[in-house]
Amino acid sequence: MSQGSNRRRLVAVTLDEASIGRSTPDIEHERAVAIYDLIEQNLFAPSGHDRGPYALHLSITENRLVFDVRLSDGAPVVAHMLSLTPFRRIVKDYFLICDNYYRAIRTATPSQIEAIDMGRRGLHNEGSELLMERLKEKIEIDFDTARRLFTLVCVLHWKG
């Protein structure tokens, strides 16, 4: 990895425990996998700043999603707050289809599971594109990074 690309990435991601409700083992698994995958491979660069790598703390405060971006040593870089309103429908639909998916993998046929999973991936992509749009000109991310971050946004939304 070149020095420049090493500066434009996340090396740590944390979620505000106060923002997270109790969740199912399936949701906890999604959270752990998303964080692991995100740290392994990502593109993350706050606009006008290239002295990373970065640490990200995600939280929800007053109906806003907070991206608290710091250097890996903890020095503050920037905090962006995004309204959660544009995400509500997608997140609600995503959780509904995820519930159906987790039920289906226990009892449904492979073709039924595949159909539900295609819908689930489509909603996930829609949420990822929305996140990229909302972060445009604030934080540069690629689509794979947006997908993993959207998973974490969903985890923060989930309240039991």
| Entry pTM | 0.88
Q: What is the spatial distance between Cα 138 and Cα 156, in angstroms, rounded to a whole number?
A: 21
Under the banding of pLDDT at 50, 70 and 90, the label for residue 1 is very low
Question: Do 58 and 67 touch, CB atoms closer than 8 A?
Answer: yes
Task: Check residue 21 and report its DSSP letter.
Answer: -
The answer for residues whose C-beta is within 8 angstroms of residue 108's C-beta and 6 or more apart is 116
Whether pLDDT at 28 is above 90:
no
Span 97-134, pLDDT tens digits: 988 988 999 999 999 999 999 999 999 999 999 999 99
Under the banding of pLDDT at 50, 70 and 90, the label for residue 29 is confident
Return the pLDDT at 159.
Answer: 52
